[in-house]
Amino acid sequence: MNKIYDFNEQNLALAAQTIQNGGLVAFPTETVYGLGADSFNAQAVAAIFAAKGRPTFNPLISHIAEIDMLSDLAVPDSRALALAKKFWPGPLTFILPRKEANSALDLVCAGLPNISIRMPNHEIALALIKLSGTPIAAPSANRSQTISPTTAQHVADSLGDKVDVILDGGACKVGVESTIIDLTTKDVVILRAGGLAKETLENFLGEKVLLSHGNPDLPTSPGQMLKHYAPKLITRINVTPDMRQPNEFYIGFGKMDCDLNLSSKSDTTEAAANLFAYMHLAEQQTNYPQIAIAPIPDEGLGLAINDRIRRASYK
């Protein structure tokens, strides 16, 4: 049975009802497709972990549709509220102290005292959250450790019958997951580089933003596992054209001969939007048994791209 539904009022209502009934709905955001359930329904959240094969010590992001919903889940300070007013809706996730000891949120938070929250910049995601009447917990809508989905078909191919409804909103514009920042400490710390550049945050805050890769054995936010976003084929990174081996499908960056080019203009924003879609194509081709990816500079969204491909290539 095809569970991909075009976005219209009737199918949005079906998706919202599915969330309210404890089901799983895949929906588009500006970053990647999410696999959503009611954040306050522990049984539904458990179904997310089961569908993905995701370890339950790896916390999930709760998605909201209005800044006022933030205080239902967390204890925001003036810095968090200023960042929310500037960058939400958008590809930025906050780590904040949880509001009280609400046991219903234990699973979505992986038992941690903090919670991950963001407001996605996508009309379908926002409409679904509002109509469902609850924050929606949603990691990427794919099996754990595989390539993140940027189309509805990617979701269907990866999860099949494990998801109840897939809302089709076309291809995602940003193409890599959100930037995650820890706001529980004096310094702002990026725990996962993503769709909002480090430089953009620093310019707004007027201070240096720190960078941490976290502890993969005890993650404090999504995206910290050593192996993640991985194709089925062996993948090498930072491969210059002269280092390419004859058995490798080559994903390039900048002006070069390659099988697919993330951005011939050397634009990291364009490259981020293409990254997962091109990794899917590289994984599905049958001419080469391995994948190689060209070096990407760490500027702009290059920081997020390098984070993803480093985890994708982890043995």
> Hey, how many other C-beta atoms are within 10 angstroms of the C-beta on 68?
8
Q: What superfamily in CATH does domain 234-312 come from? A: Threonylcarbamoyl-AMP synthase, C-terminal domain (3.40.50.11030)
- Name the residue with tokens 């996508």: 122
> Each residue of 2-38: b (16+ CB within 10 Å) or e?
ebbbebeeebbebbbebbeeebbbbbbbbbbbbbbbb
Most confidently predicted of 46-50, 109-113, 218-222: 46-50
Tokens at 139, concatenated: 């990691």
Residue 268, pLDDT above cutoff 70:
yes
Write the pLDDT tens digit of every residue in 138-156. 999 999 889 999 999 999 9
Sketch the domain layout of the chain as residue ranges.
4-74+97-175, 234-312
Task: Give the pTM.
Answer: 0.90
Tokens at 190, concatenated: 């990026």
Residue 313, pLDDT above cutoff 60:
yes
Q: Check for a shared fold between 4-74+97-175 and 234-312.
A: no
Numbers of helices and strands, H then E, in the chain: 9, 15
Tokens at 254, concatenated: 């900048």
Contact 25, 34 (CB under 8 A): no
Rounded to whole angstroms, the Cα distance separating 3 from 157 reads 11
Contact 278, 250 (CB under 8 A): no
Q: Among 169, 170, 195, 193, which Cα is nearest to 181's?
A: 193
pLDDT for residue 214 = 66
The average confidence (pLDDT) of the chain is: 93
Q: Which residues contact 174 (CB under 8 A, 6 or more apart)?
A: 30, 31, 91, 195, 272, 273
Domain 4-74+97-175, CATH: 3.90.870.10
pLDDT for residue 220 = 66
Rounded to whole angstroms, the Cα distance separating 151 from 284 reads 15
Write the pLDDT tens digit of every residue in 277-309. 999 999 999 999 999 999 999 999 999 999 899
Q: Which residues contact 125 (CB under 8 A, 6 or more apart)?
A: 27, 28, 29, 34, 63, 65
Contact 23, 51 (CB under 8 A): no
Helix H or strand E encompassing 234:
strand 234-236
